[in-house]
Amino acid sequence: MNNNIVNLVIVGGGTAGWMSAAALGKFLGNKKYNITLIESELIGTVGVGEATVPHIRFFNETLGINENEFMQKTNATYKLGIEFSNWAKKGDAYIHPFGIYGKTINDVSFHHYWLKAKMMGNQFPIGDYALGVVAAAAEKFNYPNNDANSLSSKYSYAFHFDASLYAVFLREYSEARGVKRKEGKVVQVQQHPDSGFVQSLTLESGEVIVGDLFVDCSGFRGLLIEQTLNTGYEDWSHWLPCDRAIAVPSEKTSVPLPYTKAIARDAGWQWRIPLQSRTGNGQVYCSHYTSDDAVAENLLENLDGKPLANLNHIRFQTGRRKKSWNKNCVAIGLSSGFLEPLESTSIYLIQMAITKLIEYFPRADFDTVTADEFNRDITMEYERVRDFLILHYSATSRDDTEFWRYVKNMPIPKSLQYKIDLFRHQGHVEQYKRGMFLDPSWVAVYFGQNIFPQHYHPAVNKLSDDELRHQLNAIRQQISMLAEKMPSHEQAIKQYCHQGANSPSSWPPAAMNLYEVFS
**Distance (Å, rounded) from C-alpha 118 to C-alpha 424?**
15
The catalytically annotated residue of 79, 116, 261, 327 is: 79
CB-based contacts of 111: which residues, under 8 Å, 6+ apart? 101, 102, 126, 427, 443, 447
Q: How many helices (H) and strands (E) does the chain have?
A: 14, 21
Beta bridge partners of 304: none
Contact 380, 320 (CB under 8 A): no
Burial class (CB in 10 A: 0-12, 13-18, 19+), 465: exposed
Contact 94, 444 (CB under 8 A): yes
What are residue 235's DSSP bridge partners? Answer: 319
Rg (CA), the chain: 23
Q: Output b/e per residue, 92-123; b: 16+ Cβ within 10 A.
A: bebbbbbbbbbbebeebbbbbbbbbbbeeebe
Which residues pair with residue 209 across a beta bridge? 201
State which amino acid sits at residue 485.
K
Closest CA to 71 of 148, 135, 147, 159: 159
Distances (CA, A) of 335 to 40, 49, 231, 416: 16, 15, 11, 25
User: What is the separation of C-alpha 381 from the centre of its chain, rounded to a whole number of angstroms?
Assistant: 12
Residue 197 · residue 189 · CB < 8 Å = no
- How many residues does the structure list for the chain? 519
Is 79 a residue of the active site?
yes
Q: Are strands 233-235 and 319-321 parallel, antiparallel or unpaired?
A: antiparallel
Q: What angle do CA 365, 214, 165 make, to 5 degrees?
A: 145
Strands (E), 40-168: 77-79, 81-85, 93-97, 158-160
Beta-carbon contacts of 498 under 8 Å, excluding residues fewer than 6 positions away, are 68, 72
Cα 503 from Cα 99, distance rounded (Å): 21
User: In this structure, are residues 364 and 32 in contact, taking their beta carbons and an 8 Å threshold?
Assistant: no
Catalytic residues: 79
